[in-house]
């Protein structure tokens, strides 16, 4: 059991830690060549982002998901060719969107100061609600 006093910094760490873990996981998958998995994880992360960031990313997230769905609906002459074609097209779509969307997400989080220690403190005096 914890003997030390619970300070506000202990309450701030879980969400910023969550963001750092999620961004690191996405980046590692992307660097290792798992672009589709990284993009899928990034699209899921948008749902858990603070409202001020989520609002700016939501329309682009919807467009990317639509393009991915279309890529995986394509057909070819037989089952094997269809799978190859879908996988190739899915990877092309993921490669096209991954870098700009990841960059925009991280820049927004950084710009809004969500990747800094103390990110969960109220933004202005008299503002008691968090934007999560």
- Condensed to tens digits (0 to 9), the pLDDT of residues 15-36 reads 888 888 999 999 999 999 999 9
The answer as to whether 77 is a domain residue is: yes
The answer as to whether 38 is a domain residue is: yes
Crossing angle for the helix pair 51-71 and 35-48, to the nearest 10 degrees: 140
What does the pLDDT read at residue 18? Answer: 87
What does the pLDDT read at residue 38? Answer: 97
Rounded to whole angstroms, the Cα distance separating 110 from 117 reads 11
User: How many domains does the chain divide into?
Assistant: 1
For 50, the domain range is 16-111
Closest by Cα among 4, 42, 15, 18 to 119:
15
The answer as to whether 130 is a domain residue is: no
Q: What is the pTM of this model?
A: 0.77
């Amino acid at each position: 059991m914890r003997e030390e006093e619970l300070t506000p910094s202990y309450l701030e760490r879980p969400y910023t830690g969550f963001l750092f873990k999620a961004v690191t996981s996405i980046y590692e998958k992307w660097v290792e060549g798992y672009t589709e998995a990284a993009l899928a994880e990034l699209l899921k992360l948008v749902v858990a982002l603070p409202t001020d960031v989520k609002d700016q990313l939501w329309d682009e997230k919807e467009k990317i998901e639509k393009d991915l769905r279309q890529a995986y609906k394509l057909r070819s002459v037989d089952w094997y060719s269809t799978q190859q074609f879908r996988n190739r097209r899915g990877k092309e779509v993921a490669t096209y969107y991954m870098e700009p969307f990841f960059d925009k997400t991280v820049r927004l989080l950084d710009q809004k100061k969500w990747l800094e220690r103390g990110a969960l403190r109220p933004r202005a005096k008299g503002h008691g609600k968090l934007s999560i």
